[in-house]
C-alpha cells in the first residue's frame, strides 16, 4: 500500500466517525427525548475525541510529509492540501480540550433551547461563559497574526480574516443603508391585510413547502424534512440529507422560505461527487459557497416575480379561500417587504446583512475580550438600535434567537454575507448560460438552474479554494458588485423609487 492510499484509508475512517456524529447531532435537535441530554453529551464527546485522535495520529502527519503534491494529480493534491490543513489545525488542540468542548456544546444546546423558550438568558448564561472561554482558548491554540477572531473565521472559510471582512462590510453598509433609508422615507409598504386576517395552518404550510422543495429538485428518497427550534440542514452523506424548518400559524412566509433555504443546502449536499465519498475533496467548498446555494433558492429565485407567477396557484390550493384576491404582484411585494425586523432568518434581503454585521461586531468584541458574557444581551440590543433603529422586546427574539453560539460556532456568521454575494454572482453567470431562465421559472422548470449549479459548484467538491471556484464558475473573483446591482434594481422595481 503506498502512502497516498494509506492516507485515504485513514481519512475514510475519520469521515465515517464524523458521519455517525452528524446523525447523533440531528437526533439531538429533532426527536431525542429531553431526558437523554446527559447521555447524548457523552456520546458526542466520545465521537469528537475519537475523531480528534485519528486526525492527530502521528502516522497521518508522516504520510502527509511523505507525499509530494507535484507528483499528484489535481484531486490527489487537493486531498493532500485539505488533509494537511485539518491535521495541522487538529494537532493544535489537546484531545481533552476537544472532548470537553464537545460535551459542553451538547449540554449548552439544551440550556439555550430552554432559555429561549422561557425568555431567560440567565439559564444559558453559565454555559455561554464557558463556551466563550473555550473559544478564546481555541483561538490561542490555533494561533493568529492579527486578531484572535481571524483564527476562528478561517475554520469556516479558508483565508477569511477581519482585515478582509471589514472593507467588505463597510462597503455593503455604504451601499445598502441608503437603499433602506430611501424605502423608509418613501412611506410605501405593501398591504399585508391578506396575511394578517388569516390563520395559516401548519399542515397547509407543510404541503406547500414540500411541493416547492420537490419542484426545486430535492430528492426525498435520499433525504427527509422535520421541524426544529432552529432550521438547519445536516445528515451524514448525499444519500441521507436531512433538513428542518419551523412554523408560525400567524404568517406563512417563514416556513416556506426557510424550507427553500434548507432545500438549497440539501441539493448541494445531494449533488456532491459520489466518486469522492469519504475524501476531503468530496466535501462542500466552504460555508460561504454552501450559503450561496441556500440564499440563491430562497431569495434570488424564491422572491422573484417569476417564481410568484408559478407558485401562486399552489398557494391557493394549499390555503383555499384565503388568497382569492391575491395576485402574483401582491404576493411578490408582500414577500419582499423591506422593513427592519428582529429575526435574522426572517429578515428581508436589504436588511439581512445588517443582522450579520451586528453578530460580526459582537463576536469580535467577545473573542478579543472587550465584552464579557453578562454584557452581551445589552450590547446586542444597543447594536440593533444603532444598525436597524429597533430594540428587541425580549431575549427570545433578541440575543437568544440563533443556535450558533451554543454550538460553539463563533466565526460562522460572516459566511452568510459571503453567501449572498456569491449567490448574486453565480446567478448572473448562470443567466448568461440560460437565456430563457425567467421563462423557465414562470413554468416551474428549475432543472436547468439546478443542473448549472451541479456542474459548476456541486460536482466540484473542494477541489479548489472558494475564491478560485467562484472564478472558475463565473469568470471573475468574488465581488460585491453583482449583489449591489441586483438589490438596487429590485428595490427600484418594488418601491418605484429612484436609486
Q: Is beta strand 223-227 parallel, antiparallel or unpaired with respect to 240-245?
A: parallel
Asked if 488 and 179 touch (Cβ cutoff 8 Å), the reply is: yes
Query: Which of 262, 291, 349, 363 is labelled catalytic?
Result: 262
- Positive or negative CA dihedral for 352, 354, 360, 365? negative
* Residue 262 annotated to the active site: yes
Beta strands, E only, 277-352: none
The neighbouring-strand residues paired with 436 are: none
Distance, in Å, from the CA atom of 20 to the CA atom of 325, rounded to the nearest integer, reads: 49
Asked if 114 and 56 touch (Cβ cutoff 8 Å), the reply is: no
Report the alpha-carbon angle 97-101-105, nearest 5.
180
Comparing CA positions, the residue from 313, 354, 349 lying closest to residue 331 is: 313
Distance, in Å, from the CA atom of 83 to the CA atom of 79, rounded to the nearest integer, reads: 6
Report the alpha-carbon angle 329-330-331, nearest 5.
90
Distance, in Å, from the CA atom of 387 to the CA atom of 177, rounded to the nearest integer, reads: 9
Distance, in Å, from the CA atom of 296 to the CA atom of 433, rounded to the nearest integer, reads: 16
Q: Extract the C-alpha cell encoding 50.
A: 475519537
The neighbouring-strand residues paired with 224 are: 242
- For helices 349-367 and 376-388, the axis angle rounded to 10 degrees is 150
Distance, in Å, from the CA atom of 203 to the CA atom of 245, rounded to the nearest integer, reads: 13
Q: Extract the C-alpha cell encoding 161.
A: 480574516
Length of the chain: 499
Asked if 228 and 246 touch (Cβ cutoff 8 Å), the reply is: yes
Count of other CB atoms within 10 angstroms of residue 186: 12
Distance, in Å, from the CA atom of 134 to the CA atom of 338, rounded to the nearest integer, reads: 38
Write out the catalytic residue numbers. 262
Amino acid at each position: 500500500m503506498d502512502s497516498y492510499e494509506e492516507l485515504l484509508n485513514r481519512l475514510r475512517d475519520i469521515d465515517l466517525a464524523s458521519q455517525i456524529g452528524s446523525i447523533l447531532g440531528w437526533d439531538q435537535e429533532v426527536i431525542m427525548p429531553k431526558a437523554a441530554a446527559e447521555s447524548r453529551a457523552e456520546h458526542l464527546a466520545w465521537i469528537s475525541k475519537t475523531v480528534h485522535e485519528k486526525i492527530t495520529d502521528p502516522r497521518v502527519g508522516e504520510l502527509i510529509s511523505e507525499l509530494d503534491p507535484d507528483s499528484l494529480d489535481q484531486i490527489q493534491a487537493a486531498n493532500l492540501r485539505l488533509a494537511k490543513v485539518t491535521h495541522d489545525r487538529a494537532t493544535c488542540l489537546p484531545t481533552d480540550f476537544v472532548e470537553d468542548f464537545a460535551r459542553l456544546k451538547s449540554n449548552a444546546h439544551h440550556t439555550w433551547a430552554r432559555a429561549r423558550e422561557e425568555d431567560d438568558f440567565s439559564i444559558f448564561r453559565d454555559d455561554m461563559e464557558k463556551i466563550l472561554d473555550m473559544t478564546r482558548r481555541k483561538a490561542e491554540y490555533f494561533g493568529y497574526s492579527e486578531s484572535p477572531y481571524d483564527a476562528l473565521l478561517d475554520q469556516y472559510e479558508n483565508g477569511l480574516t477581519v482585515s478582509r471582512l471589514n472593507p467588505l462590510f463597510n462597503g455593503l453598509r455604504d451601499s445598502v443603508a441608503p437603499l433602506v433609508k430611501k424605502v423608509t422615507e418613501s412611506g410605501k409598504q405593501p398591504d399585508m391585510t391578506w396575511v394578517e386576517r388569516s390563520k395559516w395552518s401548519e399542515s397547509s404550510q407543510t404541503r406547500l413547502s414540500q411541493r416547492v422543495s420537490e419542484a426545486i429538485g430535492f430528492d426525498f428518497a435520499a433525504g427527509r424534512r422535520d421541524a426544529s427550534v432552529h432550521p438547519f440542514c445536516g445528515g451524514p452523506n448525499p444519500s441521507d440529507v436531512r433538513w428542518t424548518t419551523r412554523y408560525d400559524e400567524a404568517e406563512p412566509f417563514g416556513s416556506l422560505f426557510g424550507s427553500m433555504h434548507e432545500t438549497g443546502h440539501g441539493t448541494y449536499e445531494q449533488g456532491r461527487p459520489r466518486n469522492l465519498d469519504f475524501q476531503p475533496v468530496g466535501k462542500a467548498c466552504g460555508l460561504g459557497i454552501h450559503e450561496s446555494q441556500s440564499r440563491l433558492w430562497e431569495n434570488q429565485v424564491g422572491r422573484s416575480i417569476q417564481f410568484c407567477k408559478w407558485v401562486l396557484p399552489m398557494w391557493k390550493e394549499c390555503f383555499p379561500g384565503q388568497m382569492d384576491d391575491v395576485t402574483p404582484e401582491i404576493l411578490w411585494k408582500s414577500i419582499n417587504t423591506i422593513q427592519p425586523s428582529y429575526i435574522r432568518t426572517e429578515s428581508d434581503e436589504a436588511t439581512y446583512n445588517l443582522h450579520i454585521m451586528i453578530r460580526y461586531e459582537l463576536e469580535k468584541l467577545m473573542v478579543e475580550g472587550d465584552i464579557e458574557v453578562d454584557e452581551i444581551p445589552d450590547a446586542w440590543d444597543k447594536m440593533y438600535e444603532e444598525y436597524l433603529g429597533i430594540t428587541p422586546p425580549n431575549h427570545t427574539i433578541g440575543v437568544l434567537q440563533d443556535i450558533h453560539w451554543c454550538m460553539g460556532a463563533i466565526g460562522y456568521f460572516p459566511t452568510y454575507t459571503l453567501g449572498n454575494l456569491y449567490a448574486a454572482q453565480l446567478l448572473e453567470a448562470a443567466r448568461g448560460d440560460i437565456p430563457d431562465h425567467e421563462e423557465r421559472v414562470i413554468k416551474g422548470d428549475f432543472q436547468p438552474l439546478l443542473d448549472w449549479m451541479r456542474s459548476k459548484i456541486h460536482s466540484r467538491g473542494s477541489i479548489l479554494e472558494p475564491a478560485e471556484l467562484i472564478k472558475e464558475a463565473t469568470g471573475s473573483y468574488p465581488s460585491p458588485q453583482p449583489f449591489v446591482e441586483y438589490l438596487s434594481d429590485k428595490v427600484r422595481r418594488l418601491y418605484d423609487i429612484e436609486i
